[in-house]
Structure 1
Amino acid sequence: MRLATITDISQIETLMRVSGTELFPRFYTTEQAASAAIYLTEPDVTLVNDGTYFVHEVHKEIVACGGWSKRNKLYTGSGAQEDDGRMLDPATEPARVRAMFVRADWTRRGLAKQILDGCVQAARTEGFRSLSLMATLPGVPLYRSYGFEETRKTMVRMPDGVQLEGVEMTYEL
């Protein structure tokens, strides 16, 4: 595992799209899966620039990615909000876990857990006391097994108007 660089963006985008296209249809309707595969699979360059985004690379191919953020944006696809770039206060606000994707043929090997371990360690180092995230349904089992607790279920509206179920979750550091 290593920190992502700007030169990784193309591979990260491909991984996100392939992973989303393979996994979303197992949990959502055809319409929801298609919308999620478009709007939830855009790499967030800010995470890479902030040095908070990790990749697992095998034979020069990225097979898993994910990270955390000290900024206010909760998830890709939430639309642009005025305070997305605001730095969070580690003493009073949780850091965000963001954009976790694993290629289908590399699941169940502990790669996502290693990424979460890296997020936990880095967020602790920055003084954060907790993590929060908005999970899509494919990610809920991973986050639960890691120790995240569900805070609420919600319907997430994509920019095209399609809604899909999401689960807000938190993890105390």
Structure 2
Amino acid sequence: MTSSDPRLHLRLARPDDMPVLSALMDRAIGELLSAFLPPEGVAASYEVMGLDTQLIADGTYFVVEDGEAIAGCGGWSRRATLFGGDHSAGRDAALLDPASDAARVRAMYTHPDHTRKGVGRMILDACEAAARAEGFSRAEMAATMGGVPLYRACGYQDIEPFEAETSSGYRVPLIRMGKAL
């Protein structure tokens, strides 16, 4: 996938990217969700969001580079887990059936210095193309309030709102969204 910005380059994430990706995710959560959630909601979000190394191992996680810097990351999955990082509860590594299940769009983050440049759309396009190539006809995700505007603009429709409860008792609002591929 290419962007209208010639500085942006899409590639698969590598294990050696993990420290940079974790830092990018932490910064994105801390800075970008504050427009949508109170401080306690942003703090609680770290518990249900973050790096899922299974996506990197599966070869389904992308990064967008802007020159030498990673501007964003995100991926898709053929596994049942809908959202969350390595540390999140309720993970399920069972493989999905492309004939009957929706692929999962997962762990989409844009570095705060790179928002509104097409980074998220570039990753989402790559995820959808890869899932289609593996026979999936639908994609679903658990969208944060910060991601909902992008996903709606890209044709995703709300399926149902829900909340992820955290150890602090704060319930992080999410929306399950889907799209035909």
User: TM-score, structure 1 length as denominator?
Assistant: 0.94
* Alpha-carbon offset, residue 60 of structure 1: 2.5
Q: Distance in 1 between matches of 2:142 and 2:40?
A: 20
Aligned counterpart in structure 2 of residue 79 of structure 1, from 75, 85, 89: 89
* Alpha-carbon offset, residue 153 of structure 1: 1.0
* Alpha-carbon offset, residue 63 of structure 1: 1.3
Aligned counterpart in structure 2 of residue 21 of structure 1, from 30, 53, 75: 30
- For structure 2, the residue ranges without an aligned partner over 5 or more in a row are 1-9
* Alpha-carbon offset, residue 53 of structure 1: 0.3
Indicate the residue corresponding to 1:169 in structure 2.
Answer: 177
Q: Distance in 2 between matches of 1:111 and 1:96?
A: 19
Q: Indicate the larger mover: 87-96 or 38-47.
A: 38-47
Contact 1:79 1:159 in 2 (8 A): no
Amino acid at match of 1:134: A
Q: Distance in 2 between matches of 1:39 and 1:16?
A: 12
Identical counterparts, % of pairs:
39
Indicate the residue corresponding to 2:7 in structure 1.
Answer: none
SS of corresponding position for 1:108: coil
**What CA deviation, in whole Å up to 9, does each residue of 1:83-113 have, x standing for no partner?**
x110000000000000000011211111111
Q: Distance in 2 between matches of 1:137 and 1:128?
A: 26
Aligned counterpart in structure 1 of residue 55 of structure 2, from 38, 47, 55: 47
* Alpha-carbon offset, residue 40 of structure 1: 3.8
Amino acid at match of 1:51: G
Contact 1:97 1:119 in 2 (8 A): yes
- Superposition RMSD in Å: 1.2
Query: Post-superposition, which runs of at least 4 consecutive aligned residues in structure 1 deviate over 4 A?
Result: none
* Alpha-carbon offset, residue 59 of structure 1: 3.4
The within-5 A match list for 1:143-158 is 143-158=151-166
Residue 15 of structure 2 corresponds to residue 6 of structure 1: yes
Q: Indicate the larger mover: 155-164 or 43-52.
A: 155-164
Aligned counterpart in structure 2 of residue 57 of structure 1, from 52, 65, 73: 65
SS of corresponding position for 2:104: strand
Contact 1:65 1:101 in 2 (8 A): yes
User: TM-score, structure 2 length as denominator?
Assistant: 0.90
Amino acid at match of 1:162: Y
